[in-house]
Amino acid sequence: MDKFLTAADAALRTLFAAPRATQDSPARAIAPACLAPEERQLSGALMRVNHVGEICAQALYTAQAAVTQDAALRAHLLEAAREEGDHLAWTRERLQELGARPSLLNPLWYAGAFAVGLVASKISDGVSLGFVVETENQVAAHLQSHLRRLPEQDLASRAVVARMKDDEERHATNALAAGAIPLPAPARALMRAAAKVMTTTAHYV
């Protein structure tokens, strides 16, 4: 019951409370850029997709931390979730600055990621960590693509995305060192397909 209540509280805070970062956003010290309407729209859409990714990260890590019986692994997952919480706050802040809104389907994205995290964790801690490695690697590649697509003068968004990419790569490395089991090729392909659907939809909705 305690784990259920903790997970429910985490979901409500992620989806409906204003996120608070433990570190200042990388964009904080950057002067606002003068963006053309189409550039602002593109940046807003890309940051909405990134915000969805952070919603899913909170769901994934919350589910995994709730299931594992390994105290050290739970602490590792919760620390990663804390860092992802900073990303959540930074992307939400950037959305507001761009005059863009979060995805209307955030509850759906959260529920799906939470379910996947539960299933992976129920199999084994190694598989759970393997899912983290693959997820973070795919997210890092996705963020790299956003660095190519963001307007050159949108230095604030680019600073946030670059910092997030570095953190995601570190999370993947840490999960691998913690005993991750590589996922089979079909599982990785299915994850890429699901991510494609999510990112394409969140770009607009």
Report the percent of the chain where pLDDT is more than 90.
Answer: 82
pTM here?
0.94
160: left (phi over 0), alpha (psi -120 to 50) or beta: alpha
CATH superfamily of 2-11+36-202: Ferritin, core subunit, four-helix bundle (1.20.1260.10)
Q: What are 165-201's pLDDT values in tens digits?
A: 999 999 999 999 989 999 999 999 999 999 999 999 9
Residue 1 — very low, low, confident or very high, per pLDDT cuts 50/70/90?
low
Name the least confident of 2-11, 116-125, 154-163, 194-203.
2-11
Mean pLDDT, the chain, whole residue set = 93
Give residue-wise pLDDT tens across range 63-94.
Answer: 999 999 999 889 989 889 999 999 999 999 99
DSSP 23: S
pLDDT at position 10, please? 86
Q: Quick one: pLDDT at residue 162?
A: 97
Q: Where are the domains of the chain?
A: 2-11+36-202
In order of 86, 93, 100, 154, 180, the CA distances from 47 in angstroms are: 14, 10, 9, 12, 29
- Residue 9, pLDDT score: 84
- The residue that leads in pLDDT, 204 or 32, is 204
Environment class of 39 (CB within 10 Å of its CB; exposed 0-12, middle 13-18, buried 19+)? middle
